[in-house]
Amino acid sequence: MDPDALIARYLEPNPHKPGPADVWLKDYGVSVWALVGYWQAAGHDARRVAADYEVPLEAVEAALAYYKRNHAIIDARLAANAV
């Protein structure tokens, strides 16, 4: 599926923490940064992330497409949480 379509289908701004660093999965409430951090720790295994978070693989792919476009913002959030 097209990355724009995946992002539109699965992601939305977090109503409690607006801003590009806190975009999350619709209907699941899992932040993109959390999925990306786990994906990095899991050896870049998107299927494992989907299984462990109990979300569709396409949702993880949407998060990764968003990350590809916003990696500096997400990386900064991950770094801030690592302190």
69 Rama sector, left if φ>0, alpha if ψ -120 to 50, beta otherwise: alpha
What's the CA gap between 6 and 1, in Å, rounded? 7
Pick 33 or 1 by higher pLDDT: 33
What's the CA gap between 49 and 47, in Å, rounded? 5
Domain around 74: 3-82
- pLDDT above 90 (res 40): yes
How many degrees, rounded to 5, is the angle at CA 32 between CA 27 and CA 34?
105
First to last CA, the chain: 36
CATH number at residue 69: 1.10.10
- pLDDT above 80 (res 22): yes
* pLDDT confidence of residue 1: 79
* pLDDT confidence of residue 74: 97
Total number of domains in the chain:
1
- pLDDT above 80 (res 18): yes
